[in-house]
Structure 1
Amino acid sequence: MPLFINRDRMFAHQVHLLEHKLRSKEERILELETENAILHLRLAECLGKLRRDHEEGTRARNHHQHQREAQEITRATLTKLLSGVQAVKQDLSEVFAVYLSFATELEEQSKQLLEKVGQASLTRNGHCADEVQDLQARVAALERSLEEERERCRAERHRRKELHNTVVELRGNIRVHCRVRPVLPFDHVQSHPSGSGPASSEEVVYATSDDTVMVNCIKTGTPVQNKMFEFERVHGPEDCQETVFEEVKPLLTSLLDGYNVCIMAYGQTGSGKTHTMMGFQPLEEHSVTQQEAQQGIIPKAAAELFRLISEKPVESHTVEVSVMEVYNNEVFDLLAKDEQGNAAGQRRDVITTSSGTSQVTSLTYAPVSNASEVMQIIGSVLKRRAHCPTLVHTDSSRSHLIVTLTISSKSPNALALARRLQSAKKDMQRTTQKEWWSPRCRRANPAARHLSDEHLFSSSASSPCPSPLTSPCPSPRNSMSQTPFRTKLQLVDLAGSECVGMSGVSGAALWEVSCINRSLSALADVLGALAEQRPHVPYRNSRLTHLLQDAIGGDAKLLLMLCVSPTQRFVTESLQSLGLGTRARQIQKDLPRKKNNTLRVK
């Protein structure tokens, strides 16, 4: 039986083997091509490196060559400059020699002229000499008379100012001061592109005297109209911080006399309110004198307060500070801390007590012992005050800042005062009949029954009683006590009073501007109601006026510091501020009441 061979299968197997060898060859070809490409890349890298090395060498040679050329040029230039300097020195020496010759000649000529004048004066006749002496005597007399008139004028002006302040004190009016700031760089803004109107940087507000402000109202096509405003004191752009504070300082003495004092800065953004109240921090390399000169009313008032306290008996006064801001018609305590002890402004409520005074609930007070501690506390919370950039100022305050210094004072020791009074009467007591000293024992002496307790302690001519140390009656130590009283110094930096169009804000900042304008309008309404003596004063229309009710309409001594800009760009806001100050001057407040610290005998 013949063997069957499947040729198709054999051919298929051979084809498969050939295909496998073909794939192997193709893979080998790919590997060789890859190695060839890698070798080409390495060759290109080597060629590029050689080319870069060649270029760097060429560049270095060129650089060295340029340096050598530059050095040669520099040497040539220095040689020319040196020769020029030598020539200038030669010229200067020649000029100096000429100057010396001229000076010597001029001195000789002046000596000759003086000798001739002396000879001429000696050759004058006696009549001319007498006339000259008479004229000199008359001139000297006129100068003395003029100086006397000047002194008399200064004395009369000082007396008029004192009388005016006395009248203001008696009438109870609000003191109004005005400060006109100098022109600043941001004032130079063209508000009329067509050029038809006045330039925005033109000065139209002037401090014409120490109590008068003049405003030039410029309108296109109409003559210039001058408006005059009078205040208790007007500061011009040339007045420094110390000059402004000197007019404020007398109010601080009233604090320790038992009166509340409030100083409030009003004006538009950029008019200088914060500069007037706080000043600005100078550079560290400035001297202490320069730093003090840049301080505003708040640091200077704190320093003056502690200076006055240092003149009093030790531990007779204690001072506490509180810092608040009125933002979006809400009162925030900037000294308050959260539950973790971190500083965070907390919202507070304003209430009216049973005595009719306004009070902030749960307000934080920090005890202080010197002015530096006060400024450290204020500086630590100022960064939490609301700020926002506007078209007028890049860092405009958006809240009303209120810094309050509360002074707790103790009345004099009544027993020590009584002993001093009795010691002064010792000589008189020796010549009079011995009487009981204590007011409780007046019934033991009929002649002394008509004397009152107050008369015993205040009259030195009608109290011949012996010293309490020799009195058989019980000592009045338990019936006399120290009566502490509290006074407040409120320092207020109000937010800007400009309109929305002037500030140029939009979005969420519009609500801030709206709240500021409403609170300042409420302040103007309160001042108007007080000036017109209306039966109802709308203090509660705003948290600001409710908080400052005791200062605006109460018994505090109030100083309103108007800060105005001098240029045409802000003339509308300046007129509004000056008008509010004029209205405030018309308010006739009750006489400031002194806190009761009299001696009381039970």
Structure 2
Amino acid sequence: MRPRGGFGPGPVWAQRVRQLEQRARAQEERIIALETENAALHLKLAAYQGWAGRSVDEILQLYSAHGQQQKLQSSVATHLHEAIKRLKQDMKSLHSFALELSKDFQRQYKACLYQVLTAVQGIQLQNEAMQMFQMKAFDLEQSLQEVTERYEREKQKRRALHNSLVELRGNIRVHCRIRPSLPFDHAAGHSVSQDRHRSSLENVAYAIDDETVLVKCSRPGHAPINKTFQFERVYNATESQDTVFADVAPLLTSLLDGYNVCIMAYGQTGSGKTYTMLGPQLEENLTFVDEDESELGIIPRATQELFRLISEKPPGSYWVEVSVVEVYNNEVFDLLAKDSCGKVFGIKRDVVTTREGKSDVPLLTYETVANASEFLHLVIKGLQLRVRHPTLVHAHSSRSHLVVTLTITTIVSGDNFGTSWEDEQINQRLNKEASCTYPQKRDSKSTSSSRASSPAQLEAAEKLKQVKTRLQLVDLAGSECVGMSGVTGAALRETSFINRSLSALADVLGAIAEQRSHVPYRNSKLTHLLQDSVGGDAKLLVMLCISPSQKYLTESMQSLGFGTRARQVQRGQIKKRNLPVLSKTK
């Protein structure tokens, strides 16, 4: 790797060079001081010599006149000459020392400089080699990125072509999610032998790729058989809720493009259907935590994405109404109905078929919501009434089929309203208000047409039409084996109704796949309620949820068979409601 902050030995040599430079400067200053002192001594010597020359005669006279003074002066002169000699010797020694020091400094400086240059050259060579490696790595990364992007483009293109083919053929989209092993998978029954219990802990269902499920089928005394199932998308046990919803989100765009959409979770009890559709907070605690959104299921995420898409549309051109029902023991219950005190409680409703051949639930409660939080608040209210009983397979087993429906109403001008919308009715509230105000609640029992309206309001209302699309989010109750779940009494009766309704759903798919003249929608309230989604004009996504354990092999094979049968259904090209292009106003 390329060292940060320069080459490795640089700071050491730089410090050594600074030390030598400091010593050289000190020696140079010492030489200058000695030279200055030498010059001063020379001046003193010249002065002494001149003084001595001038004073020889005077000294002789003084000697002759004063013997003691002559001796003293001679002694002083002798001492002066000796001092001058010593100073000259010191100057020579200092000069020689300064020359030697300068030469030594030059030698050391040249040696250090050579070492530094050698190190710099070595580092430059290393840098060049590192740059070559970096260029090669960058080229490889670019190539890898190009190949990855090309692969993703081809993958998306293949999926788009496949989806187009599916749309043209009218088939139902089927995704399969394999949940991870859970603690209750390892719980052994009293009558189960240890060897059989150990074999039941083995995983037999795997995701080979993102479109194929492999199931290892084995029976005592028979050779194991590997069976594969193909679906539009397969999720392994490690893939997150984000990954699952990423493949669901495009359907919400289709919803605002004019398609009805239905997303349905199918599988045995404890296979992860409610977790996939709601998430752990709504599944077990009937609460919603804003801070932890990574585990949210399809229903809350779909609502958030739907309102995000609506926020990009012109204000007032869309509104959303919600209904929540459950099918329990082959009866439909309205989970948003309220008593005279305003308390929510479930009321039994009927399912009828309209003259246009559509399924409808008269007197069903619809609540208008303005954002995802209001929607989740209503769903939580409905979930609190949903029937749940613990079983040996799942502690929070749902004993009913949950159907959450969001009806998106688009207000358009009569000039842009297509003739194919003859089956849609004009909203009665438009007869009393000319402007597109946001409604508070829709109740099929209300009769707004009884109120008086002015001619101007009626004329304005006649120019406005409404276009409705519907998103159905279905969390089916799980199919289960009575012997494995251990249910008795009322729970056993619930299991019977659940299995019969799921069997009726399979019969409906089989009849549509075989193109029979009669499709038995009315054999069950569930199939009657979902008639428009399963056999109608909605884009239907079936999310199969299976367990990987050998313990639930029979139930997993039944779910995979259901998904395979659903893929064979041909319903004709899905009907699209041609909405006018609406630009967002500032």
Instruction: Return the offset for 1:223.
Output: 2.9
| SS in structure 1 at match of 2:158 | helix
Distance in 2 between residues matched to 1:149 and 1:299, nearest whole Å = 36
User: CA distance change for structure 1 residues 131 and 351 in 2, over 3 Å: closer, same or farther?
Assistant: closer
Tell me the amino acid that sits aligned with residue 200 of structure 1: S
Whether 1:298 and 2:299 are equivalent positions in the alignment is yes
User: CA distance change for structure 1 residues 597 and 159 in 2, over 3 Å: closer, same or farther?
Assistant: closer
Distance in 2 between residues matched to 1:561 and 1:519, nearest whole Å = 17
Whether 1:491 and 2:473 are equivalent positions in the alignment is yes
Distance in 1 between residues matched to 2:137 and 2:340, nearest whole Å = 80
Matches within 5 A, 1:203-242: 203-242=203-242
Whether 1:165 and 2:147 are equivalent positions in the alignment is no
Matching residue of 2:366: 365
Distance in 1 between residues matched to 2:219 and 2:121, nearest whole Å = 68
Whether 1:188 and 2:189 are equivalent positions in the alignment is no
From 510, 514, 517, give the equivalent of 2:499.
Answer: 517
Matches within 5 A, 1:121-520: 145=143, 147-190=145-188, 192-195=192-195, 199-281=199-281, 290-411=291-412, 414=415, 481-520=463-502
Tell me the amino acid that sits aligned with residue 506 of structure 1: T
Distance in 2 between residues matched to 1:212 and 1:301, nearest whole Å = 26
User: CA distance change for structure 1 residues 410 and 218 in 2, over 3 Å: closer, same or farther?
Assistant: same
From 542, 551, 555, give the equivalent of 1:573.
Answer: 555
Distance in 2 between residues matched to 1:578 and 1:146, nearest whole Å = 37
**In the alignment, is the contact (CA less than 8 A) between 1:281 and 1:291 conserved in 2?**
no
Tell me the amino acid that sits aligned with residue 585 of structure 1: R
Tell me the amino acid that sits aligned with residue 553 of structure 1: G
Instruction: Return the offset for 1:218.
Output: 2.7
User: CA distance change for structure 1 residues 358 and 145 in 2, over 3 Å: closer, same or farther?
Assistant: same
Distance in 2 between residues matched to 1:278 and 1:137, nearest whole Å = 49
Instruction: Return the offset for 1:288.
Output: 7.0
Distance in 1 between residues matched to 2:516 and 2:273, nearest whole Å = 30
Distance in 1 between residues matched to 2:535 and 2:351, nearest whole Å = 16
Tell me the amino acid that sits aligned with residue 258 of structure 1: G
Matching residue of 2:520: 538
Distance in 1 between residues matched to 2:130 and 2:325, nearest whole Å = 73
User: Which structure 2 segments of 5+ residues have no match?
Assistant: 1-7, 13-114, 417-458, 582-586
Matching residue of 2:48: none
Instruction: Return the offset for 1:120.
Output: 12
Matches within 5 A, 1:26-65: none
**In the alignment, is the contact (CA less than 8 A) between 2:349 and 2:362 conserved in 1?**
yes
Compare 252-261 and 189-198 and name the one that shifted more. Answer: 189-198
Instruction: Return the offset for 1:254.
Output: 1.7
**In the alignment, is the contact (CA less than 8 A) between 1:190 and 1:199 conserved in 2?**
no
User: CA distance change for structure 1 residues 120 and 556 in 2, over 3 Å: closer, same or farther?
Assistant: same
Instruction: Return the offset for 1:219.
Output: 2.4
Distance in 2 between residues matched to 1:355 and 1:545, nearest whole Å = 17
Matching residue of 2:443: none
Compare 187-196 and 526-535 and name the one that shifted more. Answer: 187-196
**In the alignment, is the contact (CA less than 8 A) between 1:483 and 1:597 conserved in 2?**
no
After superposing on structure 2, the runs of 4+ consecutive aligned residues of structure 1 that deviate more than 4 Å are 118-123, 130-147, 286-290, 412-415, 477-480, 596-599
| SS in structure 2 at match of 1:292 | coil
Distance in 2 between residues matched to 1:307 and 1:324, nearest whole Å = 25
Distance in 1 between residues matched to 2:288 and 2:463, nearest whole Å = 48
Distance in 2 between residues matched to 1:140 and 1:304, nearest whole Å = 38
Instruction: Return the offset for 1:338.
Output: 3.0
Matching residue of 2:530: 548
Tell me the amino acid that sits aligned with residue 259 of structure 2: Y
User: CA distance change for structure 1 residues 151 and 255 in 2, over 3 Å: closer, same or farther?
Assistant: closer
**In the alignment, is the contact (CA less than 8 A) between 1:411 and 1:482 conserved in 2?**
yes
Instruction: Return the offset for 1:586.
Output: 0.8
1:195-249 Cα deviation digits (max 9, x unpaired): 1575222111111211111111132333322111111111111111111111101
1:94-113 Cα deviation digits (max 9, x unpaired): xxxxxxxxxxxxx99xx9xx
User: CA distance change for structure 1 residues 375 and 150 in 2, over 3 Å: closer, same or farther?
Assistant: closer
Bigger Cα Rg: 2
| SS in structure 2 at match of 1:521 | helix
Tell me the amino acid that sits aligned with residue 246 of structure 1: A
Tell me the amino acid that sits aligned with residue 176 of structure 1: V
User: CA distance change for structure 1 residues 254 and 131 in 2, over 3 Å: closer, same or farther?
Assistant: closer
1:154-205 Cα deviation digits (max 9, x unpaired): 3211211111111111111111111111111111123641415752221111
**In the alignment, is the contact (CA less than 8 A) between 2:265 and 2:474 conserved in 1?**
yes
**In the alignment, is the contact (CA less than 8 A) between 1:189 and 1:201 conserved in 2?**
no
User: CA distance change for structure 1 residues 567 and 119 in 2, over 3 Å: closer, same or farther?
Assistant: farther
Tell me the amino acid that sits aligned with residue 179 of structure 2: R
Distance in 1 between residues matched to 2:129 and 2:320, nearest whole Å = 71
**In the alignment, is the contact (CA less than 8 A) between 1:329 and 1:515 conserved in 2?**
yes
Matching residue of 2:575: 593
Instruction: Return the offset for 1:595.
Output: 2.8
Instruction: Return the offset for 1:146.
Output: 5.2
Whether 1:582 and 2:564 are equivalent positions in the alignment is yes
**In the alignment, is the contact (CA less than 8 A) between 2:336 and 2:381 conserved in 1?**
no
Tell me the amino acid that sits aligned with residue 407 of structure 1: I
Distance in 2 between residues matched to 1:350 and 1:356, nearest whole Å = 12
User: CA distance change for structure 1 residues 412 and 242 in 2, over 3 Å: closer, same or farther?
Assistant: farther
User: Which structure 1 segments of 5+ residues have no match?
Assistant: 1-106, 416-476
Tell me the amino acid that sits aligned with residue 362 of structure 1: L
Instruction: Return the offset for 1:318.
Output: 1.2
C-alpha RMSD of matched pairs (Å) = 3.5
| SS in structure 2 at match of 1:393 | coil
**In the alignment, is the contact (CA less than 8 A) between 1:302 and 1:371 conserved in 2?**
yes
Tell me the amino acid that sits aligned with residue 580 of structure 1: F
Query: TM (normalized to structure 1)?
Result: 0.64
Instruction: Return the offset for 1:502.
Output: 2.1
Distance in 1 between residues matched to 2:156 and 2:304, nearest whole Å = 27
**In the alignment, is the contact (CA less than 8 A) between 1:210 and 1:235 conserved in 2?**
yes
Instruction: Return the offset for 1:141.
Output: 6.4
**In the alignment, is the contact (CA less than 8 A) between 1:554 and 1:590 conserved in 2?**
no
Query: TM (normalized to structure 2)?
Result: 0.66
User: CA distance change for structure 1 residues 132 and 315 in 2, over 3 Å: closer, same or farther?
Assistant: closer
1:45-90 Cα deviation digits (max 9, x unpaired): xxxxxxxxxxxxxxxxxxxxxxxxxxxxxxxxxxxxxxxxxxxxxx
Distance in 2 between residues matched to 1:305 and 1:362, nearest whole Å = 26
**In the alignment, is the contact (CA less than 8 A) between 1:211 and 1:231 conserved in 2?**
yes
**In the alignment, is the contact (CA less than 8 A) between 1:319 and 1:406 conserved in 2?**
yes
User: CA distance change for structure 1 residues 353 and 195 in 2, over 3 Å: closer, same or farther?
Assistant: same
Distance in 1 between residues matched to 2:177 and 2:550, nearest whole Å = 17
Tell me the amino acid that sits aligned with residue 375 of structure 1: L
Distance in 1 between residues matched to 2:219 and 2:341, nearest whole Å = 59
Distance in 2 between residues matched to 1:400 and 1:406, nearest whole Å = 19
Q: How many percent identity over aligned positions? A: 58
